[in-house]
A and B are shown apart, each in its own frame.
Chain A
Amino acid sequence: MIRIGVPSKGRLMQDCFDWFSARGVAMRRAGSDREYSGIVEGVEGVVPVLLSAGEIPRELAAGRIHLGVTGSDLVREQLGEDEVAEIAKLGFGQADLIIAVPNVWIDVETVDDLDAAAAGFRRAHGHRLRIATKYHRLVRDFLQSQGVADYQLVDSQGATEGTVLNGTAEAIADITSSGETLRANHLRILSDGLIHSSQALLWASRVAEWSAADRATYAGLAAKLGVPAQPY
């Protein structure tokens, strides 16, 4: 049996079901729409596991699911390349992880400006410039690769765009799809502040146990989906 983790609700679940269905693999929730179990038709030996999209990376890394559909932002934030393999980009769930600063920062256009502003900010205020985010690893790796100093990441698990207005951060790094919320909160994206361009992907766990039967099942599924016959 291959266990495939799919998002349990909302737009992401529907887009995911549509993607599989367009390839002859019907996926739906069983029973009432409050029950978190699912059914796959059109291919034998595949069990859907309905999970919060945010938990799918962890389940892949633990090997409790063989396959999973979730955003590349969450996987890159939480996992290493030796834990999962990318099978297919699904073409939905697009969102960009970006850095945004107050629109009134007329002197800041790029990451380079942000670095210089951080140096001045620390001198003036005695603490490092705060960037609110929940994507600590992706943001830190990005800023480190750009050689940015004198900043600190402060954790924000929601309503991140409001942190500057509320005085708990000077800048933010967050997922945005349209930018409207940013504008409403008087923020502007740095012109070179794109950290990660995310979308939903189908991932294979390198940690899960893949028996010969599982691999055969996978090959059958892969043929329908039009992806390589080996998971990785």
Chain B
Amino acid sequence: MTQKAAIRAEGERLLAAFVAAGAVPVEADILLPAGTLLDLYGEDIRARAYVTDDPVRGEMMLRPDFTVPVVQAHMAHGAEPARYAYLGEVFRKQMRGSGRASEYLQVGYEVFDRAAPEAADAEVFALFRDLLAGLNLRPVTGDIGILMAAVRGLETTERRKAALLRHVWRPVRFRALLDRFAGRAPVPADRVRLLERLKAGSPSQLIEEAGTFVGLRSAEEIAARAEALVADAETPPIKATEAALLYDLLSLEAPAAHALSHLRGITAMLPAIGPAVDRFAARLDALAERGVDVATLAFEASHGRTALEYYDGFVFSFLADGLPPVGSGGRYDALTAVLGAGAFIPAVGGVIRPGLVARLKGAVQ
């Protein structure tokens, strides 16, 4: 058997297992309209996905993953609850010399179910664990929902919380903002000068003095942000105790059961994370019911933050040394709202790379 055939056979085996678990097999287009993906992921996706041009349909993208087309199809005409499975190529640009494949098969499983999100999380994780058993992979889990709840619960302005939430998936920027809002980083000299200039007059007067007005961004928008900057400069920093809890949370890495008791401990000081921690606890119960040893399962609060920006709850990966994640997935409730034009359904799912499974089994090089 050729390598490709062996990998496809592995993919078919996994797809059959997903179907046996109750999923409906679905297909998705390979050529996707680039606009939707760019609006979701931003320009960064261009560095990862192949963009091409159609004379009639405009910019198109070679499918970088299945999640978006599967969610769109479900939101357009899916019945609830639903379980879907798929198998097909995805295309990702790779760094020069990385030796990583830019075209490979993905096989995936997605659950759209309102009834019991934590049970659905556990269902997906346990299914992946079973299918990947014997490959000596290291499972790692996380929960972006706890981090987001912690940010929402901060005693600071809505503006600051929104800025932090917007950058949850860009850890470097998130950290820089948090350092500034918490008073841990000095106000940059550029900002000090900007504030001095803004205090020299009313925004409309300053805009007037700046010369010819050009561009679509209106004077009202400019003035509103100028006023917000001045107001923000007078906003006290996030309290040191509260900030310390958030820094602690960002770096929390522990076995899941231990992480839960740690989070229970800090809930008293950061009550806003209570409901998210309850969901975490319910998920651990659901995982334990499915035979997952939560006393040893790795939990990292920041896991999944550098993936494509749509996971907003449970996240997981199955890792092997020196390879990209063999399996990975998570919850993406917010994505269904964005793509559903107002409609919304909780969703969780994940993908496995049959090529890596075949390699670990020794079926291919």
Contact = CB atoms under 8 A, between A and B. Distances in A.
A18 to B, nearest CB: 35
Given A82-B96, A107-B222, A121 B217 contact: yes
B213 to A, nearest CB: 5
A149 B42 contact: yes
Interface string B188-223: 101101100110000100110011111111110110
Contacts, number: 120
Contacts of B39: 128
For this complex, into which size category does the number of interface residues on chain B fall? 35 or more
A105 B212 CA distance: 11
Secondary structure class of chain B's binding surface, majority of residues: helix
B167 interface: yes
B225 A120 contact: yes
B214 A185 contact: yes
Contact of A186 (B190, B211, B218, B226): B211
A146 interface: yes
B221 A121 contact: yes
Given A103-B211, A140-B47, A147-B170, A110 B190 contact: yes
B215 A164 contact: yes
A191 interface: yes
B44 interface: yes
A116 interface: yes
A88 interface: no
B97 interface: yes
B269 interface: no
Given A128-B42, A149-B42, A153-B43, A117 B217 contact: yes
A117 to B, nearest CB: 6
Interface string A138-161: 001101101111111100000000
A81 B288 CA distance: 49
A106 B197 CA distance: 9
B308 interface: no
B225 A117 contact: yes
Given A109-B191, A151-B42, A116 B225 contact: yes
19 contacts: A102-B213, A103-B210, A104-B210, A104-B211, A105-B215, A109-B193, A110-B188, A119-B166, A120-B224, A121-B217, A124-B218, A128-B39, A128-B42, A129-B217, A149-B42, A167-B216, A170-B215, A185-B214, A186-B213
Q: Which 4 pairs from chain A and chain B are nearest by CB?
A: A147-B173, A147-B170, A107-B226, A109-B194
